[in-house]
């Protein structure tokens, strides 16, 4: 009796696993095709100066609308790409598309000063990354200072010489580096000042609680001072309310992004957003 139940249970478990991995496998294949056929999209979220509303730049965020399954979040497909060896291809696609878009805005006289893209820490294990970046910038006639690469704080754990070499080569191109989701990782701060980073992005979990939680305010304050003392710019993300913006300004923050200003938008909608503001 026991053995039979157990057997049945195992059978169910096994077949569920099989189904799941079959789904994952076909998703991996779909992602590979989507990257190859240029079916991913970038959305752009404005980064705004608090004092005068000036646009400092935009962050590009990848979007995948699956033909059958609908929208799949980047949190999910980035992990998938990491698992199945597509992360370098994804990183290259994002770089190429972001550079193409910024150059297109330039040509058409649209005032987008800079673009930030997200790269995964594993992209910094690709020795070809610096050359790819240099190539994209040259191809689109962009200055390196117009491109910022966001990487999550977990890179602070990676102190291998190979990783640091690639990071330094990227820095030497003149491209800027930003530490995304700052304050959530378990990073060693002593390592931070040795990395060629120019920006910290205060994680949105701190911003979320600013109005109600004194500890979030204290930590946001600490991140700003840390950034300032290392001469880094500090950007707050996930700003949804006027009250959050007010508190951030009181703390001394000058730049931020979030739904309060705009959600990430397809390029055409970002252009309308820009036009409606200058009107
Ligand atoms: P992230 O880089 O920290 O991006 C911020 C996330 O917060 C985005 O989610 C954005 O849509 C969302 N967001 C923006 N404003 C607000 C707000 O006011 N409130 C709230 N609640 N959320 C806001 P998204 O687009 O789903 O991206 C999630 C994460 O996926 C990103 O976090 C980034 O780590 C990763 N990601 C996105 N695009 C790419 C990419 O092209 N390559 C890589 N490697 N990672 C990417
Ligand atoms: Mg980011
Ligand atoms: Mg972030
Ligand atoms: Mg994030």
Atom of ligand 1 nearest to the CA of 87: 44
- Residue 260 has a pLDDT of 98
Give the distance (Å) from ligand 4 centre to CA of residue 1.
Answer: 49
- Residue 18 has a pLDDT of 63
Six token digits for residue 240 = 């949804």
Six token digits for residue 127 = 């020795």
Residue nearest (by alpha carbon) to ligand 1 atom 15? 258
Range name among 11-15, 81-85, 269-273 with the lowest pLDDT average: 11-15
Give the distance (Å) from ligand 3 centre to CA of residue 41.
Answer: 19
Q: Which of 46, 73, 74 to mutate to test the pocket of ligand 1 (most atoms within 8 A of CB)?
A: 74
Q: Which of 88, 118, 180, 243 to mutate to test the pocket of ligand 1 (most atoms within 8 A of CB)?
A: 118
Asked if the interface predicted TM-score (ipTM) of this complex is over 0.95, the answer is yes
Ligand 1 touching residue 259 (CB < 6 A): yes
Q: Where are the alpha helices (DSSP H) in the chain?
A: 2-36, 74-83, 87-107, 129-140, 161-172, 189-192, 204-208, 214-229, 242-251, 267-278
Beta bridge partners of 60: 44, 117
Q: Where are the alpha helices (DSSP H) in 238-266?
A: 242-251
Separation between Cα atoms, residue 170 and residue 150, nearest integer Å: 12
Ligand 1 touching residue 87 (CB < 6 A): no
Separation between Cα atoms, residue 198 and residue 121, nearest integer Å: 17
Residue 186 pLDDT grade (very low, low, confident, very high; cuts 50, 70, 90): low
Residue nearest (by alpha carbon) to ligand 1 atom 21? 238
Overall pTM > 0.90: yes
The beta strand positions in the chain, using DSSP E, are: 41-49, 55-66, 70-72, 115-118, 147-152, 176-182, 199-202, 233-237, 255-257
Residue 27 pLDDT grade (very low, low, confident, very high; cuts 50, 70, 90): very high
- Residue 185 has a pLDDT of 76
Residue nearest (by alpha carbon) to ligand 1 atom 2? 118
Mean pLDDT of the chain: 91
**Is residue 2 predicted with pLDDT exceeding 70?**
no
Atom of ligand 1 nearest to the CA of 117: 41
**Is residue 179 predicted with pLDDT exceeding 90?**
yes
Residue nearest (by alpha carbon) to ligand 1 atom 25? 61
pLDDT tens across 230-241, in order? 999 999 999 999
């Amino acid at each position: 009796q026991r053995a039979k139940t157990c057997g049945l249970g195992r059978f169910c478990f096994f077949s569920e696993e099989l189904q799941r991995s079959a789904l994952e496998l076909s998703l991996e294949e779909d992602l590979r095709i989507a990257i190859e056929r240029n079916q991913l999209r970038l959305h752009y979220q404005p980064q705004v100066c608090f004092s005068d509303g000036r646009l400092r730049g935009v962050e590009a965020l990848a979007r995948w609308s699956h033909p059958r399954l609908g929208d799949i979040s980047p949190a999910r497909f980035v992990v998938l790409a990491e698992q199945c060896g597509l992360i370098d291809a994804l990183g290259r696609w994002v770089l190429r598309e972001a550079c193409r878009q910024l150059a297109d805005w330039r040509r058409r006289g649209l005032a987008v000063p800079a673009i930030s893209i997200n790269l995964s820490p594993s992209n910094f294990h690709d020795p070809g990354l610096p050359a790819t970046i240099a190539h994209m910038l040259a191809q689109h006639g962009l200055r390196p200072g117009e491109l910022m690469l966001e990487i999550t704080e977990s890179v602070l754990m990676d102190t291998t010489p190979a990783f640091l070499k690639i990071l330094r080569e990227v820095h030497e191109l003149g491209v800027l580096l930003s530490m995304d989701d700052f304050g959530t990782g378990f990073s060693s701060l002593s390592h931070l000042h040795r990395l060629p980073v120019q920006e910290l992005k205060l994680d949105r979990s701190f911003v979320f609680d600013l109005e109600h939680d004194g500890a979030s305010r204290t930590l946001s304050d600490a991140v700003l001072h840390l950034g300032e003392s290392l001469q880094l710019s500090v950007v707050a993300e996930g700003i949804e309310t006027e009250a959050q913006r007010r508190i951030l300004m009181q703390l001394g923050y000058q730049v931020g992004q979030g739904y309060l200003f705009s959600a990430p938008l397809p390029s055409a909608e970002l252009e309308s957003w820009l036009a409606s503001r200058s009107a």
